[in-house]
Structures are given as C-alpha cells and as structure tokens.
Structure 1
Amino acid sequence: MTIELRHLRAFLVIAEEGNITRAAARLRLSQPALSRTLRQLEDQLGTRLVDRSTHHLELTAEGRTFRDKAAAALAAVDTALDPRSLRSWPLRLGHPWAALGDHTIALLRRWDETHPDVPLQLLRIDDRTAGLTQGKVDAALLRGAVPRAGLRTELLVSEERVAVMSADSPLAALPQVTLADLAAHPIALNTVSGTTTMDLWPSAARPTATIEVSNTDEWLMVVAAGRAVGISTTATPSNHTHPSLVFRPLVDAPPVPVFLAWREGPGHPAVPDLLALTHEVVASGAAGTRVSRGSTPPP
C-alpha cells in the first residue's frame, strides 16, 4: 500500500479531535472507513500511532512525532500547489513574539534591498516553534530552548531579561529589580511560547501565585491591568510600548538566547541567505550600539 495525502489528512483530524466518531463526522466518512484508514497508515509505518485503550483517544509518542511530520508534509504540498507560488516563492519567517527585537525593521529593509524577487513574510504564530514543525513557516525566530527533533538552529544573539509591570505598581519606583522583588507578586506566564518558568527562582523562594495565558496579547493585558508582573527580554519594549507598562532591568536572571531555526532536509532555497543576512544585521546593530555608548557628547 502507498500512503496517500488522504491518510495524512485523516490522521491529523483524528489527532485534533481526539475521537474517531467526531473525526469521521468532520471528514464525512463512516467510522469504520476512518478506522480502516488509520490502520492502513499504522500498518505501512509499522508502528502504533494512536492509543485506543482509553475512552479519550491519545496519541502515542510515535503518533505525536508523526503528527508534526504529517502537518509539515501537507503544508509543503499545499504551498507547492498554490498558483500564487508559481509567480514568486515567499520566504515565511515565523516568530511567537518580538521577532528580532530592535533588529526587526533593519532585517526587513535589508532583505527587500538585497532580495527583491523573494518576498519575506513575517508571521507571528502563537506556538512554541512559531509553526515551524507544522510547516506553516520556512524558518523561525525562537527564544529559549528549542528541543524539537528535526530542526536545525543557529544562535543569533542573547537578550537580557527585563521585568514588566503596570505603571502604578510599587516596583515601578525601582531603577532595577531582582527575582526576589518579583516573588511577592503574581507572575504572568505565557505557557504556549514564553521563556519564563518557575525554575528561574530557587525552589525555596518561588512565587506562590501565577496567571497563565496562551499568547502575547493576553500576557500584555494581564500585566498592564496590574493583575501580575511579567518577565521578558530587551526585545519587548521596542515592540510593545504602552503607557500602562513599565520595563525595568532584571539584574539576576540569565539572558535568553535567540535562534534562527529551520527544518532539516529540503526547504526554501533562500533560508541560507536569510541566516547570513540576519547575522549581518545583528552584528551591525551591536556595533552601532557600542559606538553610541562609547561616543563623546558634543561640547
């Protein structure tokens, strides 16, 4: 048997619905037909993708890995068959938040100047890999650990952490803050794509309250409303200025690495050019910052 696109699409719907009956209704198939399609796929791969021992269907470890591969494969097919891609092949650059920080505008301008025939699309996707493992983008700007197998990464820069609070917070009166200062307040955690966890604090001095959110917009609103304080990086102030938000250096937390990530294997041919240009832009920005800080003020 040859695996066809219908097998992949059926499996992804099953994985999303977590139930064969609902998946069959969504696909407008009978339940026996969908179960047969799933068995065919598993037989061809030689492994069990779905654990059927519970009432709520669960993916096996192999099933979770295959889900990402199947999504990426279908996205690649959809892109290849899109008539618009025959005229130009956009390079899709994903990010879950803050893109490349202060370097973002410079990167976009430099790309337009040097690669006018390859549109660079900057896409914010609320996902740990900014849609990279699902094939929604060709490369991604990611912060913190990138543990996913099948990805290649290269370090671009490290960003210092900042504490973020509402303008009327008592912490706003401090020129800089520490983790101990924050521990007395609820902490806003972006559990989908954020880099802050309770592991930042010593186990005996962790905050007792957290507010979990699923994207950057919710995180900003929770902090601006004074319901919690947040931890981010120096990339955030330039991208999310707001009169209700105050940013202060967080002096005792480790910096956050920023990577360019892309999938292993065949991909967009312009990814190497993007990597090279991103390094150039970051280096130019760092050099400009050093010159600015070291310059002598005019008499």
Structure 2
Amino acid sequence: MSEEPTTGRPVELRHLRAFLAVADELNITRAAARLRLTQPAVSRTLAALERHLGVRLVDRSTHHLALTPDGVAFRDKAAAAVAAFDEALDPGRLRTWPLRLGHAWSAFGPYTTPLLRTWQERFPGTPLELLRIDDRTAGLTRGEVDAALLRGPVDAPGLVAEVLFTEVRVAAVTADGPLAARTSLELADLANGPVVLNTVSGTTTVDLWPPHARPAATLTVGNTDDWLTAIAAGRGSGVSTASTADLHPHAGVSYVPLDDAPAVPVLLARRDAPGHPALPQLASLAREIVARG
C-alpha cells in the first residue's frame, strides 16, 4: 500500500493531524518528532493534503515555514474537525492541546495573573499559553495563536473582537528628565520634543495629537523593548496605557498620568471561523475576571 495518498483518495484524519503539527511547529522536523513519524512521511502527507485541496497551505519559499492565508483559514477548520473526532471518542475529557493566547504587550493588564490562575484551576486539561508576539494582531492573522488580547481598534479582515475593558493612557518619559517630576502631563507637553512610536504593536500614532499640534519629531521602533530603551536613553517620550507602567517597569523610564488623551479599549479577538473548542470558555472567563474588578 502506497504511503502517499493519491489525489482521488479522501482526506483522512492523519492528514489533518500532520498539517496541524506543522502549523503549530512551523518546522517539518519538529512536527515529525511530535507525530513520531519520519520527516519524509510528514512532507508527503502534507503535500497530499495540499493536492487534494488544490491550495498551498504552507509557504516553503523561505528558511522558516509559514502558513499561507489558505493555511491559516484551513487550520481552524482542521482543528475543529479533529476536536469533533476526539470528542466523539472521549466526550468526557477537555481538549488537551494548548489554547494559545497572543498579546503584543501588557497582556491582560492587571487581570493577567487572575486569568491564568483561574484557568489552570478550572481547565487543567487545557493549558493556556500566553505568547508575546510583536505584531499588531499578536500573531492572530498569521495563525500563530488561537485568540489575542489587543489594544485599540483593529481593522484586520476576518477577525471578530469584543471590548473587555478600557485603560487610561500614561506618558512615558526619561526618568532623569524635566517631565518626570511633573504630577501629570498633557499631549502638548510631549509634542515639544521627539515622540517614540511603536509602529508594529503599539496604539499611538501622530493622529493622537491635533493636526496643528503634532510632535516636532518622531522615532519609530518595532517592539516594546526598543520603545523603553529609546525613552530611557533620552531619545524621546512616549504614550502607552496604564498596564505598561505596571507590567513593564524600567529604571530609566518614569510613567506620568496623561490628562487629555482618550482611553484605549482592550479587546479579546479571534478569527471569524471555527477555532479551538475552548474559546467560548476563555471569553466567558475573561468577562468574569473583569467583572470581579
């Protein structure tokens, strides 16, 4: 019997499991080890699935594998199908594969630890993995996570989100600079000097300031670490949310209340497609944690 299915054969569960392993690991060797198969067997199974579907699921054109847009969409469908099969065989157990929750910075703010602890208590069979990914959707649109905690409006197509709470904004200024001694600041106070903008995962753009009073200069960075380093080095000031002050303290940065900046919504987002079976429990628990205060 040939190990590689022909185009006319139906898709089997092993094809879906192989694809999901590759989608999770983004590495054929690690996926093969996880499945206890050889690397060529996994590659052939994945190729057979792609031929059957008539689409490319995985981009192999770079040194690192990546899901194509079709692969991202199919991952949710494959995960739902495998979950339904496993549930039918063992309906009493929760899903055992991890639920991946992405964030770009500050996670769930003050509710992060209560969320993780309560989840572990209630759903010990489904690990909740909190993953920081420096991307505007924290890896959600690329299929790297099942859900994401995001801040500010998200315009990416194919996502659905609900607002869980809002956070006030704060100014982040150099710790030994003149603004650090102030009890509060306004946006105009920051516009007199350079402003550091995290264009990859942050929520602040020059549009936060009125057109006639925008910052004199800006410095763009790609993640929260570089944003903090630039401010600590005196290269400019920044704007973030209150959770950043709590979760990202830095010896060279002082956080000062910002009186005239609008609050930022904190969202729980997922793809608008069948996904991990524990997503409804995650949304429900997140709402419960926020309601506790």
TM-score (norm 2): 0.73
For the Cα contact (< 8 Å) 2:171–2:258, is it kept in 1?
Answer: yes
- Matched with 2:127 is 119
For the Cα contact (< 8 Å) 1:143–1:195, is it kept in 2?
Answer: yes
Residue by residue over 1:138-177, the C-alpha shift from the partner in whole angstroms, topping out at 9 and shown as x without a partner, is 1000001111121111110000000001111111111000
User: Is residue 98 of structure 1 aligned with residue 99 of structure 2?
Assistant: no
- Matched with 1:140 is 148
User: Is residue 154 of structure 1 aligned with residue 162 of structure 2?
Assistant: yes
For the Cα contact (< 8 Å) 1:73–1:135, is it kept in 2?
Answer: no
- Matched with 1:8 is 56
C-alpha separation in 2, matches of 1:129 and 1:187: 23
- Matched with 2:71 is 70
C-alpha separation in 2, matches of 1:128 and 1:72: 19
SS at match of 2:156: coil
Amino acid at match of 1:182: L
Against the structure 1 CA distance between its residues 92 and 26, is the aligned structure 2 distance closer, same or farther, given a 3 Å change threshold?
closer
- Matched with 2:186 is 178
Amino acid at match of 1:258: V
Structure 1 counterpart of 2:254, from 225, 246, 251: 246
C-alpha separation in 2, matches of 1:261 and 1:241: 26
Structure 1 counterpart of 2:136, from 128, 141, 145: 128
SS at match of 1:168: coil
SS at match of 2:192: coil
Against the structure 1 CA distance between its residues 183 and 153, is the aligned structure 2 distance closer, same or farther, given a 3 Å change threshold?
same
SS at match of 2:74: helix
Gaps of 5+ in 2: 1-6, 8-48, 88-94
C-alpha separation in 2, matches of 1:171 and 1:280: 38
C-alpha separation in 2, matches of 1:103 and 1:184: 35
Against the structure 1 CA distance between its residues 109 and 26, is the aligned structure 2 distance closer, same or farther, given a 3 Å change threshold?
closer
For the Cα contact (< 8 Å) 1:72–1:136, is it kept in 2?
Answer: no
Against the structure 1 CA distance between its residues 165 and 273, is the aligned structure 2 distance closer, same or farther, given a 3 Å change threshold?
same
- Report the Cα offset of residue 79 of structure 1: 11
- Report the Cα offset of residue 73 of structure 1: 3.2
Against the structure 1 CA distance between its residues 177 and 69, is the aligned structure 2 distance closer, same or farther, given a 3 Å change threshold?
farther
For the Cα contact (< 8 Å) 2:57–2:68, is it kept in 1?
Answer: no
User: Is residue 277 of structure 1 aligned with residue 291 of structure 2?
Assistant: no
- Matched with 2:36 is none
How many equivalent residue pairs?
Answer: 233
SS at match of 2:292: helix
- Report the Cα offset of residue 70 of structure 1: 3.2
- Report the Cα offset of residue 266 of structure 1: 0.9
Residue by residue over 1:8-48, the C-alpha shift from the partner in whole angstroms, topping out at 9 and shown as x without a partner, is 257x45xxxxxxxxx4x979xxxxxxxxxxxxxxxxxxxxx
SS at match of 2:239: strand
For the Cα contact (< 8 Å) 2:164–2:290, is it kept in 1?
Answer: yes
For the Cα contact (< 8 Å) 2:80–2:276, is it kept in 1?
Answer: no
- Report the Cα offset of residue 232 of structure 1: 0.3
Per mean C-alpha deviation after superposition, the further-off stretch among 144-153 and 176-185 is: 144-153
TM-score (norm 1): 0.71
Identity %: 52
SS at match of 2:111: helix
C-alpha separation in 2, matches of 1:220 and 1:203: 26
Against the structure 1 CA distance between its residues 170 and 68, is the aligned structure 2 distance closer, same or farther, given a 3 Å change threshold?
farther
C-alpha separation in 2, matches of 1:80 and 1:165: 50
- Report the Cα offset of residue 80 of structure 1: 9.2
- Report the Cα offset of residue 71 of structure 1: 3.8
Gaps of 5+ in 1: 14-22, 28-65, 286-299
User: Is residue 189 of structure 1 aligned with residue 190 of structure 2?
Assistant: no
